[in-house]
Amino acid sequence: GENVEQHPSTLSVQEGDSAVIKCTYSDSASNYFPWYKQELGKGPQLIIDIRSNVGEKKDQRIAVTLNKTAKHFSLHITETQPEDSAVYFCAASKFQGAQKLVFGQGTRLTINP
Amino acid sequence: GAGVSQSPSNKVTEKGKDVELRCDPISGHTALYWYRQSLGQGLEFLIYFQGNSAPDKSGLPSDRFSAERTGGSVSTLTIQRTQQEDSAVYLCASSPNPKGTQYFGPGTRLLVL
């Protein structure tokens, strides 16, 4: 089955700098790659997603890139702000009657003021 | 509008007891997922419901776990004869359709003593 590896497990950056989180996946048939942000005591919230027919997607300060050949995808956050501090999860899936997401282990991002 | 809600938010039980966890999906969402998040880990798929179709139970870790969805809306996850390793956050997500974005609830934090 699918396996998703996420790095780093923790990341600390200065406010205003950029943060990059990387994930690799094992199943070449996976075609949907969402990123979720989870704040303490809350459920994960989708922040951006990408499908395998595109290589990059951007939404304001957040962007995701996908390299299907290498089977890895990355989250880029620019001009980081204290409210970006949270745990971020990547996930991958292929549609088989359902979108059963396989998640990475998470990255705890801390933005230092 | 209202998001996914889950109850209780916290549950402490003794080993061997049964527990029921409830999920109220977003109104009109036909797809419903249960995931488990163990301490410091990513999310693990448990079960999927779509409309009135038979559920996909492929992620349930043992026959002590079961779930039902009544009237295509509210879902209940039941864990019988709880074990300490069942301690985790149980998250529910709903989606407008099987391929759609999954919206997560806040989760139920289960502690088995």
Decide if pLDDT at A74 tops 80.
Answer: yes
Identify the pLDDT of residue A99. Answer: 85
Distance CA(B62)–CA(B25), nearest Å, equals 25
Residue-wise pLDDT tens digits, B49-60: 998 888 999 999
For A43, the closest of B95, B99, B107 (CB atoms) is B107
Decide if pLDDT at A96 tops 80.
Answer: no
For B42, the closest of A46, A97, A105 (CB atoms) is A105
Decide if pLDDT at B71 tops 90.
Answer: no
Q: Classify residue A43 as exposed, middle or buried by CB count within 10 Å of its CB (0-12, 13-18, 19+).
A: buried
* CB pairs A-B closer than 8 Å: 65
Q: Cα A7 vs. chain centroid, distance in angstroms?
A: 10
Distance CA(A60)–CA(B9), nearest Å, equals 33
Average pLDDT over residues A18-47: 95
Decide if pLDDT at A103 tops 70.
Answer: yes
B→A contacts (Cβ < 8 Å), by residue, are 4, 31, 33, 35, 40-45, 48, 50, 56, 58-59, 91, 93, 95, 98-107
Residue-wise pLDDT tens digits, B1-48: 589 999 999 999 999 999 999 999 999 999 999 999 998 778 999 999
Identify the pLDDT of residue A1. Answer: 86
The helix/strand/coil state of B101 is coil
Q: Shortest Cα distance from A15 to chain B (angstroms)?
A: 25
> Which residues, including other chains, have CB under 8 Å from residue B48's CB and lie 6 or more apart?
A98, A100, B31, B32, B33, B34, B55, B56, B59
Identify the pLDDT of residue B72. Answer: 78
Q: Percentage of chain A with pLDDT > 90? A: 86
Average pLDDT over residues A87-96: 92
- B100 vs B93, residue with greater confidence: B93
Preferred mutation among A9, A24, A32, A101 to probe B, highest tally of B CBs within 10 A: A101
Identify the pLDDT of residue B7. Answer: 97
What's the 3-state SS for B50-71?
ECCCCCECCCCCCCCEEEEECC
